[in-house]
Amino acid sequence: QVQLVESGGGLVQPGGSLRLSCTASGSILRISDMGWYRQVPGKQRELVARISRDGNTNYADSAKGHFTISGDNAKNAVYLQMDSLKPEDTAVYHCTANVWVKIGDNRQALSTYWGQGTQVTVSS
């Protein structure tokens, strides 16, 4: 019903920047919030940043002052500006969204969706 498509990952040198984008499409009534998580081998999946429809944000400690999340409600999109990248930022970054979807004639439900992930590699 809902698809999340990510872009913007790639290879960057330490100290460089990347901007990730994620756009949701499909049978969307309303998006409650969107965010970014990252996964690295040997570690648990980690919340990087999240933004609600009204613009409230929260960040992992490792991302504060380093990454900036923003959204565009009209485009059903979320972005992650990553600056001063370090090798430890290397991970697969996944976009997620909590979405109100239609499940019947006049009924709806809040469901969580995930993107396929985009690889970010920080290396010299």
Residue 86 banded pLDDT, cuts 50, 70, 90: very high
What confidence tens digit (pLDDT) does each residue in 48-80 have? 999 999 999 999 999 999 999 999 999 999 999
What confidence tens digit (pLDDT) does each residue in 88-105 have? 999 999 999 999 999 988
What confidence tens digit (pLDDT) does each residue in 33-50 have? 999 999 998 999 999 999
| pLDDT attached to residue 105 | 87
Which residue spans within 27-82 are E strands per DSSP? Answer: 30-39, 46-52, 57-59, 67-72, 77-82
Residue with tokens 């330490």: 14
